[in-house]
């Protein structure tokens, strides 16, 4: 009996060790964001859905300790040291991350999303065309101003990030010659308190401003808070980006003209599947220009309810 019990214990231990070994044998894919923001919850849901279809992989969704290039680069170094096999990242500061990105790309396949680093050795970018999204926002502003002259103020997180610069450039392109001027863009480095203060300051110091655009997901809610506190909701025309619940509520009630939304759920979902195929030797998903564009679309009062229903369905599909 003692021998039988001993054999059973050894066999059980073997099974446990075998299970652990199997877990360690799984290839690891990581999705690294640029800062902590509710915007990324949809991308995380997309990664979770992909995990349900990629049983032979372990997927990670990681936030850096701070919204800085240094914190992102340190996180990527840690991931590589821990054995991750491929990384997709939204760069907080592409221009100052080239060396770090190339170092990582020399060790594991590196992809970008949301904010590209085209001068690095990344394999491909999967995300929005930020220039096209900026053009859409500018067109929405022209439509909302309905022929009135406009002096707009923009608000964004990282002024130096490619996604910010491209959106701003696209917006300027669309409003050129339309009697609308983008007077300035205030950056906040993803400091939510500063994001709100930037709007408050403009309302006090720049009474000529009659239109605003929030270029990052959390900027429109901060615009809403500031306008509400100042009793100016509806008096200043606002075009937003992304699908924060406050933003969608403002569109629904008519306080915001519209919002240009991306598809971060698809970045997470498609991004993980793209990297898995790449590791398996299937590189057909990487086009010659290395750009995989997930279209943006305009959400206004007429389609906001349908859009919200679709968002809920996508999150539910992730389990």
- The C-alpha angle 246, 247, 249, rounded to 5 degrees, equals 65
The 10s digit of each residue's pLDDT in 72-96 is 999 999 999 999 999 999 998 888 8
Tokens in use for 294? Answer: 């997930």
CA distance 50 to 58: 10
Would you tell me the crossing angle of helices 98-105 and 69-81 to the nearest 10 degrees? 10
> Phi/psi of residue 96, each to 5°?
-100, 15
Would you tell me the crossing angle of helices 192-205 and 219-229 to the nearest 10 degrees? 50
- pLDDT for res 186: 98
- Domain positions in the chain are 13-128+264-295, 130-261
Q: Which CATH class is domain 13-128+264-295?
A: alpha beta
Q: Could you tell me which residue, 242 or 20, shows the higher pLDDT?
A: 242
Which helix (H) or strand (E) segment holds residue 184: the answer is strand 180-187
- Residues sharing a CB contact under 8 Å with residue 80, sequence separation 6 or more, in sequence order: 87, 104, 107, 108
Q: How confident is the model at residue 17 (pLDDT cuts 50, 70, 90)?
A: very low
- pLDDT for res 24: 59
- pLDDT for res 14: 43
Burial tier of 278 (Cβ tally within 10 Å: 0-12, 13-18, 19+) = buried
Q: CATH homologous superfamily for 130-261?
A: Response regulator (3.40.50.2300)
The edge-to-edge listing of strands for the beta sheet with 27-32 is 57-62, 27-32, 86-89, 110-113, 125-127, 291-293
Q: How confident is the model at residue 140 (pLDDT cuts 50, 70, 90)?
A: very high
CA distance 233 to 12: 66
Q: Which of 161, 134, 129, 122 is nearest to 35 (CA)?
A: 161
CB 104 within 8 A of CB 98: no
H helices of 176-263, where? 192-205, 219-229, 245-253
Q: How confident is the model at residue 265 (pLDDT cuts 50, 70, 90)?
A: very high
- Residues sharing a CB contact under 8 Å with residue 215, sequence separation 6 or more, in sequence order: 137, 154, 155, 156, 157, 164, 167, 168, 171, 185, 241
CB 231 within 8 A of CB 255: no
CA distance 224 to 218: 10
The 10s digit of each residue's pLDDT in 197-217 is 999 999 999 999 999 999 999
Q: Which of 290, 284, 300, 201 is nearest to 247 (CA)?
A: 300
> What letter does residue 68 receive in the DSSP assignment?
S
Q: Do the domains 13-128+264-295 and 130-261 sit in the same CATH topology, yes or no? A: yes
Is the Cα dihedral 148, 149, 155, 158 positive or negative? Answer: positive
The 10s digit of each residue's pLDDT in 106-137 is 999 999 999 899 999 999 999 999 999 999 99
CA distance 274 to 267: 10
């Amino acid at each position: 009996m003692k021998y039988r019990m001993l054999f059973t214990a050894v066999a059980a231990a073997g099974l446990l060790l075998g299970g652990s070994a199997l877990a360690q044998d799984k290839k690891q894919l990581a999705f690294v964001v640029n800062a902590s923001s509710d915007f990324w919850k949809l991308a995380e849901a997309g990664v979770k859905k992909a995990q349900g279809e990629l049983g032979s992989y372990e997927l990670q969704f990681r936030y850096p300790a701070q919204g800085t290039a240094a914190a992102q680069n340190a996180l990527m170094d840690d991931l590589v040291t821990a054995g991750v096999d491929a990384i997709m990242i939204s760069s907080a500061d592409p221009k100052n991350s080239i060396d770090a990105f190339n170092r990582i790309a020399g060790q594991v396949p590196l992809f970008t999303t949301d904010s590209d680093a085209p001068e690095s050795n990344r394999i491909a970018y999967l995300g929005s065309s930020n220039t096209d999204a900026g053009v859409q926002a500018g067109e929405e502003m022209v439509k909302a101003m309905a022929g009135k002259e406009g002096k707009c103020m923009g608000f964004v997180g990282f002024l130096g990030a490619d996604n910010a610069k491209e959106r701003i450039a696209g917006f300027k392109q669309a409003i050129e010659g339309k009697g609308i001027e983008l007077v300035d863009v205030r950056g906040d480095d993803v400091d939510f308190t500063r994001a709100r203060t930037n709007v408050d300051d403009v309302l006090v110091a720049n009474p000529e401003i009659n239109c605003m655009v929030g270029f990052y997901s959390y900027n429109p809610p901060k615009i809403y808070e500031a306008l509400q506190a100042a009793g100016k909701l509806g008096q200043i025309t606002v075009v937003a980006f992304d699908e924060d619940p406050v933003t969608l509520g403002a569109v629904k009630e008519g306080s915001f003209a519209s919002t240009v939304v991306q598809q971060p759920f698809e970045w997470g979902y498609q991004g993980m599947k793209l990297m898995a195929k790449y590791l398996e030797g299937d590189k057909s998903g990487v086009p010659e220009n290395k750009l995989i564009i997930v279209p943006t679309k305009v959400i206004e009062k007429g389609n906001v309810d349908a859009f919200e229903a679709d968002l809920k369905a996508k999150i539910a599909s992730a389990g």
